[in-house]
Amino acid sequence: MIAEYDDWDATAMAAAVANGAVSAGELLDAALDRVAARNPALNAVVLMQEEKARAAIAAGLPDGPLRGVPFLLKDLGCEAVDFPSHNGSRLLANTRYRLDSAIFERIRATGVVTFGRTTSPEGGVGPATEAAIHGGPTRNPWDLARTPGGSSGGAGAAVAAGIVPAAHGSDGGGSVRIPASCCGLYGFKATRARLPDGPYAGEGWAGMAIDGFLTRSVRDSAVLLDACEGADPGAPYWAPPLGKGYRAAIARPPRRLRIALCETTLTGEAIHPDCRDAVRDAAALLESLGHAVEPARPGADTKGMMAAWTKIVGCGTALGIRKALAAKGRALGPDDVEEVSRSTLDYAATISGADYLESVGKIHAYGREMAGFFDGWDMLLTATLAEPPAMVGRFSHAGRDYVDYRMGAGMVFDYSPFCAAFNASGQPAASLPLYWTAEGLPIGIHLAARFGADEELIALSAELETARPWAGRRPPAARAGAGPKGI
């Protein structure tokens, strides 16, 4: 037993390895014990590759900043030769890769010990993780009746439950920040093109998707982002260069900032009272730290952006299905994909090339509209979600039409009206676990900064973490020895 395992973040674990207090093999054993005890109730960790992890340790781990720390990859993207993937889909089950992706190469160079993947919904579409290929829903360690979010829901559940201290995720419409909010974690979406997409893609979803991480601490995100930032060779575009980097940024507080407070959706609708209270509470905390907080709401065409986002992601989803079928040399079978994906094929067939390019233009125009708003503000403060974590089943892909799933009343964009705005604009944004409801559910606070101002955003995140530490807030599933009955 490693008594401190459940209390350490990844940085502390790596320090314990470096000073000889614990070995990488012992940490892997502890992680695997927690998978055995906690994962049956959560359904978060899949495609285990223990032998690959042990072989990596035996061969000698890279001397990186997280050497020896157990780690998990999302079952979507982050292509790796040693880690086949289902990509959340029966159609793509057991996909193997010829080359490691650039993002995986950089993650591996940190010295982490990767031993498996975490669940994601089919195609990465949706704010819940309930893929048929994974045998049912992934559940939230704070309340098993609720979702841990999506599409990096398995990553969020695994980190919140203390299986690993940090995990890979990705974010094309909030897919890191939504699980961070649902699971009481820190989730940072970097500026567009800050992290590499190659060699398998030039960009994801017209530049709206980017890799990321679910972490317990801001410093762990800083370490991983520093290790992975920068375009890979042949990238179609690059993000503005960083100054001294994420870790240097969190070493000192940011300047005093002018922060816009929006306690409604970006289109003016009311949000759940718990989420509104969380935003007001965060505003008071920021003011107590000397920041200027005033009510303001962007005038950008958010509803138009959401319609354009839906077309782009629909086309991307359909393309992925068609490519998989072409590789298999057959037509779509009745059990290959879930109903949201199947309806996406029909929807995408109605979108012409001109329609698609018009949607990309709308996304670009939205970015300019948001940039205009940020001429007068350093940050925008909102809730991460308009409601507390949703109940399991609400965002199931079964019996759903894609467009209604995204834009119907009470569906995805009503539940998550903030996150996708900053995938569209390309701006950095983060979800911070600063608030819990009376029922003990985490509520994420969302902060977004100007395009390229990643360092200022993560510095503010670190200041808030210091002012209101959240490391001690753990669900019952994160207690040492807690098995399914202890959750």
Would you please indicate which residues are annotated as catalytic (active-site) residues?
A: 74, 151, 175
Burial label for 365, CB within 10 Å (0-12, 13-18, 19+), is middle
CA angle 17, 21, 24 (to 5 degrees): 40
**3 state SS of 403:** helix
Neighbouring residues of 64: CB distance < 8 A, sequence distance ≥ 6: 109, 110, 111, 112, 227
Find out whether 224 and 18 touch, Cβ atoms under 8 Å. no
Q: Are strands 113-118 and 70-74 parallel, antiparallel or unpaired?
A: parallel
The conformational region for residue 165 under phi > 0 = left, psi -120 to 50 = alpha, else beta, is alpha
DSSP letter at 378 equals: S
CB 285 within 8 A of CB 468: yes
3-class secondary structure per residue, 81-138:
CCECECCCCCCCCCECCCCCCHHHHHHHHCCCEEEEEECCCHHHCCCCCCCHHHCCCC
Show the tokens assigned to 191. Answer: 């500026």
Looking at the DSSP bridge assignments, the partners of residue 260 are 294, 380
Find out whether 215 and 186 touch, Cβ atoms under 8 Å. yes
Residue written as token pair 């975490």: 118
- Rounded to the nearest angstrom, the gap between the alpha carbon of residue 214 and the centroid of all alpha carbons in its chain is 6
Question: Which two three-digit tokens encode residue 187?
Answer: 């989730």
The DSSP string of 169-207 is EEESSSTTHHHHHHHT-EEEEPSTTSS--TTT-S-BTTT
Query: Phi and psi (nearest 5°) for 431?
Result: -110, 130
- The Cα-based distances of 56 to 24, 48, 50, 61, 113 in angstroms read 10, 14, 10, 6, 7
Q: How many CB atoms lie within 10 A of CB 231?
A: 17
Q: For residue 53, give every residue at least 6 positions away whose Cβ sits within 8 Å of its Cβ, in sequence order, or none.
A: 28, 70, 113, 114, 115
